[in-house]
Amino acid sequence: MQLNIRRTYLLIEDKSEAAGRRVDTPVRKVAAVVVLENPFAGRYVADLGPLIEASVGLGTMMGEMAVAALGSYQVQGYGKGALVGLNGEAEHASALITTAYANPLREAIGGGKAWISSMVKMATPGCAIDIPMNHKDDVYVRSHYDGMTIALQDTPMADEIAVIFCMASHGRINARVGGLTHDEVVQRNGLKG
The domain locations on the chain are 5-189
pLDDT tens over the chain, length 193 residues: 999 999 999 999 999 999 999 999 999 999 999 999 999 999 999 999 999 999 999 999 999 999 999 999 999 999 999 999 999 999 999 999 999 999 999 999 999 999 999 999 999 999 999 999 999 999 999 999 999 999 999 999 999 999 999 999 999 999 999 999 999 998 887 655 5
pTM score of the predicted model: 0.96
* Cβ atoms 171, 15 nearer than 8 A: no
Listing DSSP states for 65-86 in one string gives: HHHHHHTTPPP-EEEEEEEE-T
pLDDT of residue 188: 87
pLDDT at 14: 98
DSSP letter string over 123-190?
A: --TT--EEEEEEESS-TT-GGG-EEEEE--TT---TTEEEEEEEEESSS-TT--S-S--HHHHHHHHT
What is the CATH number assigned to the segment(s) 5-189?
3.30.1330.110
Q: What is the pLDDT of residue 190?
A: 62
Per-residue model confidence (pLDDT) at position 191: 55
Cα 175 to Cα 171: distance, rounded to the nearest angstrom: 7
Packing angle of the helix pair 49-70, 99-109 (nearest 10 deg): 20
DSSP assignment letter at 7: E
